[in-house]
Structure 1
Amino acid sequence: MRAEAGHRADAKEHPMADKSRGDDVYQPAEDDGRLPPNEQPDMENTLDERDLDDQMAEGYSPPERPLAVDAFGTTDEEEHEGESLDRRLARERPDVAPGDDNGIGDVPQGEGEPREEIRGEERAGRLVAVNDTTGRQTDVFGEDVGIDGGAASAEEASVHITHESVGGSEEEARDGAEPDI
């Protein structure tokens, strides 16, 4: 009886003494290896990712139907007999002759690649939005502020200034007309 009384006295001093051991407190929960219903595995542990390094890790899926099952020579008799020359020639596909052009707008006996002629010699600079403080409505959406000190992008380098000519040559128009960008 004294042992029981002593044990109960220890239990009152240490409330966790009779409920669990120290090792039981921090044990992981039971795990049967399955994921909870709405949880996806991380990409490191799944085979659904198409960017795997190794083809063997991803696996191979054979074709849905066997190929060449209906082809000649699959039976012993056909293999022994051999395929006739007419049948083999009928299976071949004719060679397609290459065209006279390279497919980029060329025509036979043509001049070659389609090109636009460069109309202006002066290169335009950077275009910036017009800051019209008067509040007037104008048809000007941007103005040329000159070539930037750094390298221009391909789009900027392709913009050239052309002068509108009303009957004269481009040189005559360049002397007195506003540039048309």
Structure 2
Amino acid sequence: MPTEARGDDVYQPQDVGQDPPNDDLDLENALGERGLDDQLDEGYSPPERPLGVDKYGTTGEEERRGESLDQRLAQEVEDVEPPDGDGIGDLDDGEGEPLEPEEGETRSGRLSPADDVPGRRTDVYANDVGIDGGAASAEEAAVHTTDEEEDQGRQG
């Protein structure tokens, strides 16, 4: 076999650019696409227990006769009322939810960063600029002011 005919003389089709490669996946290879393939290929999982087998109307005679009003009313389920509350601070004449002992009683307003405050870099200082007409976010409403004397006696 001559050495010149090693692969150069093998037929190679010319690429004229008319049919670019199609990278679309067919439905058999697509992941997470339920219902696109045939139902038989996907399979079927039956429910854990038979549904409706013991209900009225499964036989032809029961279906022709129909269900009486008493039978229908016996199937009704009562509406479940949500609980009124957790029982803490829910009394009509009570003072509301109890305050945490660490929490101050006066609510802070909007906080803005304090300028030129000495301290460590991990400390956070802010100025109270007042309540914004009651339109505080939940995070802002949760901030309360404590006295410095109380703060110093606390371990933390």
Larger RCO (CA within 8 A; separation ≥ 6): 2
- Shorter-chain TM-score tier: 0.3 to 0.5
The structure with the larger Rg is: 1
| TM-score where L is the length of structure 2 | 0.43
Give the structure with the larger helix fraction: 1
